[in-house]
Structure 1
Amino acid sequence: MVRKLIFALAWVGIFIISLGGIYLGIIPEYFYNVDFYGYAFRGALIGLSTIYLLLAIEKLLSNFEKPKDYEIQTENGKLTVSSSSVNNLVKEIVGSSPDIKNIRPSNKIKRKKLFITVKVDAYTDSEISKNILDLQSQIKDYVFEYLGVEVENVEVKVSKLVKRKAASGFRSERGDE
């Protein structure tokens, strides 16, 4: 984390220096002690400062992007697994549980490790804690088995507890259902 902060501060410094270089190249009259050797030097200064400015902007913006795909280097090349593939597999796994509904999976990559979060609604007539523990281990195992991606952490959040609807056993007075 400290390395990233130092790296970001260095690029901010390059950004500020490049702005100063562009300003100095365009308006040198405000700096009386600087002797410019002509338009060629000023043009080179402006060009170089512009290149550094664009590099600093690109680098600063790319630091704030989150990777959307999980990449694994194998002996045969690079394997890329999309975030939506992981989410679809998690929906399939959790959807097979009869005690869970409204599955909303998401995942993120931090420090080249995959973290999965699943928000669900659970039925109140089941053992919720046991079912959640089973789901966590199933998700971790299935994602590794089917996609070859090691999952660092699986977090299941129960956002709502729901009662099951009772089977309709209503009979009319005539005896038909």
Structure 2
Amino acid sequence: MVRKLFFAVAWLGILFLSLMGIYLAIFPKYILNFNLEGIVFRGATLGVAVFYLLIFIEKFLMNFEKSKDYQVQTENGKLTVSSSSINNLVREVVLGNPDLKNIKAKNKIKGKKLYITVTVDAYSDSDIARNISDTQGRIKHEIFEYLSLEVEEVEVKVSKLLKRRGSSILAERGEE
């Protein structure tokens, strides 16, 4: 608790210093003891102050960001599952399909609904639509089976079509 209080005071200090720096850069004539009229000094002061102001705003907003952990009520209590655990499970499921490579999984929750987006590279010599559909079904099934989370939607994006080395579509059909 003391640590959080310390950081809160520090961020308020940064906010105060950044606002004062902006004020000094814009209105330097109100300070009598220093010659702050130089454009270089004013620009540097304004740059540093704006930088600290942006850091303050970013950290302030991060404190109010929703947690990416998902909580599931079980008969014995609450189960908390991290977002990275869900992404790892999705990657494992997709790795089971030899026609899909370079898996990047993301997930988000809206309300009580879980949405999963997977970006993959697919081999062009396979039935891509069937592979994607099967993979989407397996992802939904595995997440529900292992984590008891209901997946609302699984979106699979094919970012690149790959060709297998040493083979061609004509060779597989026997037309060469």
Q: TM-score range by the shorter chain?
A: 0.5 to 0.7
Q: Distance in 2 between matches of 1:128 and 1:150?
A: 25
Q: Does 1:79 align with 2:79?
A: yes
Q: Which 5+ residue runs of structure 1 have no aligned equivalent?
A: 1-59, 168-177
Structure 1 residue aligned with 2:95: 95
1:75-154 equivalence runs, <5 A: 75-154=75-154
User: TM-score, normalised to structure 2's length?
Assistant: 0.58
SS in 1 for 2:90: helix
For residues 127-158 of structure 1, give each alpha carbon's deviation from its aligned partner in whole angstroms, at most 9, with x where no partner exists. 00010000000000001111111111100000
Aligned residues: 109
SS in 2 for 1:125: coil
1:1-177 equivalence runs, <5 A: 61=61, 65-166=65-166
Q: Distance in 2 between matches of 1:61 and 1:99?
A: 41
**Rg larger for:** 1
Q: What percent identity do the matched residue pairs reach?
A: 67
- The 4+ residue runs of structure 1 with deviation greater than 2 A are 60-64
Give the residue type in structure 2 aligned to 1:145.
E
SS in 2 for 1:166: coil
Structure 1 residue aligned with 2:19: none
Give the residue type in structure 1 aligned to 2:106.
S
Q: Distance in 2 between matches of 1:82 and 1:121?
A: 26
